[in-house]
Amino acid sequence: MYEFTIIVPVYNEEENLDRVEKELLAYTKIATKPTCILFVNDGSKDNSQQMIETICSRNKAFGFINFKENRGLSAAIKAGFDNVTTEYVGYIDSDLQTAPEDFNLLLEHSGTYNLVTGVRADRKDSFVKNMSSTIANGIRRAFTHDGMDDTGCPLKVIKTEYAKRIPMFKGLHRFLPAMILLQNGTVLQIPVRHFPRVAGTAKFGVWNRLIGPLMDCFAYLWMKKKYINYEIENKG
């Protein structure tokens, strides 16, 4: 019935979930591919899970996964990848600083590219947040040579067969384009809109955006050296 699943990682976002429901439900009506929504509740301590269950009970295109305890963004995305059955999978942050409607811009190229990622144009974040992200992206590009300007953009579309082969570990959500390239896949970046956070609080500080990604680059280099990639010609 569906061709595209949007993963929505959630951690203590009760102030945003009513808006998430409204905007994602509206998007499903204009999406260029039949679309469903998969919440992944990453062990929230607030009322997020109860709200998610209520949202899913009244919207047949919405479902959820609920973690027993907090495991981080990469784990939430990985759980989503593991559980989707549609041809394409994407994700968006529950703070909705990017617009669901812009998924259509990415889907235009999904038949040609194995991963299409947004690039946040005219970012509406603080100077410190923007600067730390710029530095982190520059460091990551130097290690991965993936050519991507904004891997932290929470708006991506991936062919599910490629997403399921990504060996995720904590922090690797920033390296999704590089991991697709390791599979000899193709990647493309498209400018998308960006908005200020209107509710809730950011879950990442300077450590998460700068020091952490630097350490993850060495993990990526190790994985690149050890990565196993193969194609099956036929079966019998």
CA distance 182 to 227: 8
Reported pTM: 0.84
What average pLDDT values come out for the chain (236 residues) when binned by 10 residues?
Answer: 96 94 97 98 96 97 96 93 97 92 96 93 61 67 73 90 88 85 93 72 56 76 81 86
| CB of 185 closer than 8 Å to CB of 110 | no
CA distance 222 to 202: 30
What pLDDT does residue 102 have? Answer: 95
Phi/psi at 31 (nearest 5 deg)? -60, 145
C-alpha closest to that of 116 among 102, 101, 126, 137:
102
* Under 8 Å between Cβ of 65 and 39: yes
**pLDDT at position 114:** 97
Please give the pLDDT value at position 132: 62
What pLDDT, on a 0 to 100 scale, did the predictor assign at position 71? 92
pLDDT at 209: 59
Residue-level pLDDT at 164: 95
CATH class label, 4-226: alpha beta
pLDDT, position 123: 61
Contact call for residues 11 and 43 (beta carbons, < 8 A): yes
| Phi, psi angle pair for 96, to nearest 5° | 55, 45
Inter-residue contact 182 to 229 (CB < 8 Å): yes
Helix axes 17-28, 48-58, angle to 10 degrees: 30
Q: What pLDDT is attached to residue 115?
A: 96
User: pLDDT value at position 99?
Assistant: 93
